[in-house]
Amino acid sequence: MGIVHIPVLLEAVADNLVSDESNLFVDTTIGGAGHSYYLLERHRNLKLVGIDVDEYALTMAEERLSVFKDRVRLIRGNFSGVKEILNSMGVSSIGSILFDLGLSTYQILGKRGFSFHDEVFLDMRMDNRETLTAYDVVNSYSYDELIRILETYGEENRPSKIARAIIEERKKKPISTAKELSTIIQKTKKRRGRLNPATKTFQAVRIEVNSELKNIKTGIAGAIDMLVPKGRIGVISFHSLEDRLIKEAFKGSPMLKVLTKKPIRPDRLEIKNNPGSRSAKLRIAEKI
Ligand SMILES: C[S@@+](CC[C@H](N)C(=O)[O-])C[C@H]1O[C@@H](n2cnc3c(N)ncnc32)[C@H](O)[C@@H]1O
């Protein structure tokens, strides 16, 4: 196995998610299977369905989880259709379900256009069967469309400046790589602290390409439907847009009791060992 993704908030997930190991556990974002491996080890009778939209994730998860043999079933799919996916596998109810949002390390380091320095095609698709890429968004969206995504998915303070810069540059030649895009944005903004000035724009483009917020909404709704009474749902988010959505989805569901009044966050040691965990927030709810 090449790149290893360190699972975030692992103990908190393991301590709080599985209340009855005789019921099925669903990991909707199996990635490198860090969470799933740990849960299957800890709960000897637990069975898992692992889902991911990225074919590479499934290859890694399959290899890593092979020791658990028939306790594991893996399937490629988008968690927005989690209910349909599970039904198609003959599953009618589940005991626990995890959504670990965001990117896996193999995606960030995999030269797929997610990283500011990538000098490869500006792709950003998690699912390579989809057709819309970051290249399409950046090179073909109108000024108004760019503003919409920069504002709603990036919460950029000055979206018009960035949209204008993108449009000016692409008139000269198409913006083809992540490095080119981040360089254009860096010219429009001063660096504040350690955060790369292109962070919010990259977030916005990535959310648009992968329909991330829409998928989370439908995914959570489907998951709630599938849970048995006292079954648990856990969602780990990495930025405020996601977290707000999850908080509202949990609070707004008459079928859930929220177990985390405040989200669980990584402690200092975890952040030191895995800086990528610093913005993580875990919310857990139980089906009534
Ligand atoms: C942060 S990683 C998960 C890491 C995993 N928990 C581990 O311990 O290795 C997120 C994973 O979710 C997948 N993913 C993102 N959006 C998805 C979606 N809508 N449906 C299915 N998988 C998705 C990504 O491809 C990625 O592999």
For residue 72, the SS3 value is strand
Pocket of ligand 1 contains residue 110 by CB under 6 Å: no
Going from the Cα of 77 to the center of ligand 1, the distance in angstroms, rounded, reads: 11
54 CA to centre of ligand 1 in angstroms? 8
Which domains are assigned to the chain? 10-106+212-287 (3.40.50.150), 108-210 (1.10.150.170)
Can you read off the two tokens belonging to residue 138?
């950046």
Q: Which residues pair with 234 in a beta bridge?
A: 98, 284
57 CA distance to ligand 1 middle (Å): 8
What's the pLDDT at 2? Answer: 63
Question: What beta strand segments (E) does the chain contain?
Answer: 25-27, 48-52, 72-76, 94-100, 227-237, 256-258, 281-287
- Which residue among 49, 104, 112 is best mutated to probe the pocket of ligand 1, counting the most ligand atoms within 8 A of its Cβ? 104
Ligand 1 atom with the smallest distance to the CA of 61 is: 9
With a 6 A CB cut-off, is 31 part of the ligand 1 pocket? yes
Q: What is the 28 CA–ligand 1 centroid distance (Å)?
A: 7
Cα–ligand 1 centroid distance for 164 (angstroms): 33
Decide: 285 in ligand 1 pocket, CB within 6 A: no
Q: What 3-state class would DSSP assign to 43?
A: coil
Among 9, 35, 41, 53, name the best residue to mutate to test ligand 1's pocket (greatest count of ligand atoms within 8 A of Cβ). 53
pLDDT score of 192:
78
Q: What are phi and psi of 61, to 5 degrees?
A: -65, -40
Q: Are the beta carbons of 258 and 283 closer than 8 angstroms?
A: yes
Assess whether the C-beta atom of 215 lies below 6 angstroms from ligand 1. Answer: yes
Q: Give the Å distance between the CA of 52 and the centre of ligand 1.
A: 6
Question: What is the predicted pLDDT for the residue at 24?
Answer: 98
Q: Output the pLDDT for position 284.
A: 98
Q: At 189, list the tokens.
A: 């903004």
**DSSP per-residue letters across 202-240:** HHHHHHHHHTHHHHHHHHHHHHHHHEEEEEEEEEEESSH
Q: Which residues of the chain have pLDDT under 50?
A: none
Cα 53 to Cα 130, 165, 238, 266, 272: the distances in Å are 10, 33, 18, 26, 30
Q: Is the CB of 237 under 6 A from ligand 1?
A: no
- Compute the distance from residue 234 Cα to the ligand 1 centre, in Å: 14
Residue from 17, 25, 52, 83 to probe ligand 1 pocket by mutation (most atoms less than 8 Å from CB): 52
